[in-house]
Amino acid sequence: MKHSIRAGRPLVSVLGMLVFAVMLFPYLVMLITAFRTKSDIYKLPPAFFPREFTWNNFTDIWSAIPLGNHMTSTLIVASGATVLSLICAIPAAYTMARTKFAAQKYYLYLILTTQMFSPIVLLVGLYREISFVGLIDSWWALILVNAAFSQAFSVWILISVFTNISLELEQAAWIDGATKWQSIRKVLLPLAAPGIVTTMIYTFIQAWNEFPVALTIMTTTEKRPITVGIYSFFSFSGTEWQYLCAASLIATIPVVVLFFIVEKHLVSGLTAGGTKE
């Protein structure tokens, strides 16, 4: 049995490398195209590597679109949505983890099914609600919407994290004179840090990449996030692929940097709830 498992490991490794290569290929094309000239992109026969290498695409996009404003708007929306999501998800998940009631499992499944609803399906209703409260063309609208869309996954992950933290640790803190809030802040939250970081990264990336709601409710060009700003390179006269890829490459840098900073916590957070005591 052990021999067959060992014999299958090289095949699994090869398949994993192939899947990784397929997933990496679009990013490689984006990277290469970002350094091409427009004439090189449309030149026939096409070539995978640039015939003409240029850095001008990365300087020209700053004048083609208000890239700095787009990045600032995206950072504000993503950070605000992340903070708001954690503020709502942590107490909800803690309550669900520490309170048992009938049909709790089915209630958790019901929470998760809300992830099946695409923003496109809800767009008309969202627009009417946002318009009714006067938040059209407001960052607050995007913050609220993105925080709401991430709640199901955030609560689900954090429930697993809190469930696997023994209640006896909190009880020991209570015996030592700690209040409920002190035991949560000084005992529970530090132990739950990997799961909280996972939730934070998921919410941040989701808000960073959000497009249809931002396109619909944000009317001021300078206040639009980077996804909508990049969309302006598509037009009836053609697509500026070199600018599109250069701007996309710049837009991925903050997310990649954030991922590498918290990568250790992210991996352990994703495995939270995978084992039982």
Overall pTM > 0.75: yes
In percent, the amount of the chain with pLDDT more than 90 equals 26
d(CA 166, CA 173): 12
* Mean pLDDT, the chain, integer: 84
Please name each of the domains of the chain with its CATH number: 63-270 (1.10.3720.10)
Which tens digits make up the pLDDT trace of 184-219?
888 888 888 888 888 898 899 999 999 999 999 999
Contacts of 47 by beta carbon, 8 Å cutoff, 6+ apart: 40
Is the separation of the CB atoms in 73 and 254 below 8 Å?
no
> Per residue in 249-268, is it b (16+ CB within 10 Å) or e — as a string?
bbbbebeeebeeebeebbee
Eight-class DSSP state of 21: H
Per-residue confidence band for 171, with pLDDT thresholds at 50, 70 and 90: confident
Which tens digits make up the pLDDT trace of 211-268?
999 999 999 988 999 999 998 888 767 788 889 999 999 999 888 888 888 776 665 5
Per-residue confidence band for 14, with pLDDT thresholds at 50, 70 and 90: confident
Per-residue confidence band for 5, with pLDDT thresholds at 50, 70 and 90: low
Per-residue confidence band for 274, with pLDDT thresholds at 50, 70 and 90: very low
**235, containing H or E segment:** strand 234-235
Which tens digits make up the pLDDT trace of 117-156?
777 888 888 999 999 999 999 999 999 999 999 998 899 8
In percent, the amount of the chain with pLDDT more than 70 equals 91
Eight-class DSSP state of 218: -
